[in-house]
Amino acid sequence: MIQITHKSTTLRKAIAQAIVKVSLPETIQAIREKTVPKGDVLECARVAGLFAAKRTADMIPDCHPLPVEFTGISYEISEMEIRILCEIHTVYKTGVEVEAMHAASVVALTMYDMLKPIDKGISIEQIKLVEKKGGKSDFKKLSEKHLTAAVIVCSDSISAGENEDTAGRMIAEKLRSFGVEVDDLEVIPDEKIQIEEKALLAVEEGIDLVIFTGGTGLSPRDVTPEALSDIIEQRVPGIEEAMRNYGQQRTPLAMLSRSIAGMIKNTLILGVPGSTKGASESLDAIFPAVLHIFKAREGSRHD
């Protein structure tokens, strides 16, 4: 199975369909009147679908076991066919599309099994995903404007040439994957004045997003939060909480991080850990949803 530990838990929904076509109008009549010899077709098939939704990971090798927190099975019955709709919800790290399609297919197969004694011409068609919601795909287009960013590495040792930067390059790569243009990647020492100057210069140049990596710990030279808090005009504590909460689920040491987030005019300023792992997890926690800030600044609703 693919790695999903880096993903955030969100509400996921999926609706899938399957169509059962009959060859005799009397078949539909028997279903409606509940005179099929094997029993109530619609209710038996619904129960089978509920079982299938919960057992998908047992049948499909690459499916992750997940909590199925809602399953709804409905029918649209016409003269010669039954359209099956299966809707599944979960709050988890991965979607429920396969669960919905698996449930829909089992509902259809149950109908086929129950109806074959009275109709030899039944077919199952169009098992497919109808709709899905949740996860990062819902947040791909969160700003209409072209976004630019600067990445500033705060480190005495890297600026002195004693160590090599990996966190800054990783951040730049992640930003580009979300369609954000990285205009600047620079290394500076852990100096409060230089950190403030770089942030204010980026704001003056109209850069949308500035990420400082490093200096968020508790050593005497870790001054990034102090430098940024002095100039940030509007703190966004929810971003800080999201990063720490995400990290805390992966290491108990995340509570020692002093990540910071806020706005200076229309520029989003972030201070994240200097370790590559810590910086990566911080970005995983908030991207791409954090880009909605720029829509909010444009006056868009939070729909």
Residues labelled catalytic: 113
Which residues, at least 6 apart from 149, have a Cβ–Cβ distance to it below 8 Å? 172, 175, 180, 181, 182, 183, 207, 208, 209, 210, 211
Residue recorded with tokens 């099975």: 73
Element (H, E) at 81: strand 81-92
* H helices, E strands: number in the chain: 11, 10
Q: State both tokens at 103.
A: 């449930």
CA distance 36 to 38: 6
- The crossing angle, in degrees rounded to 10, of helices 167-177 and 276-286 is 20
Q: Do residues 131 and 15 make contact, with C-beta atoms less than 8 angstroms apart?
A: yes
The burial class, CB within 10 Å (0-12 / 13-18 / 19+), for 278 is: buried
Q: Which residue has the tokens 């090798």?
A: 61
Return d(Cα 293, Cα 280) in angstroms, integer: 20
Is residue 285 within 8 A of residue 242, CB to CB? The reply is yes
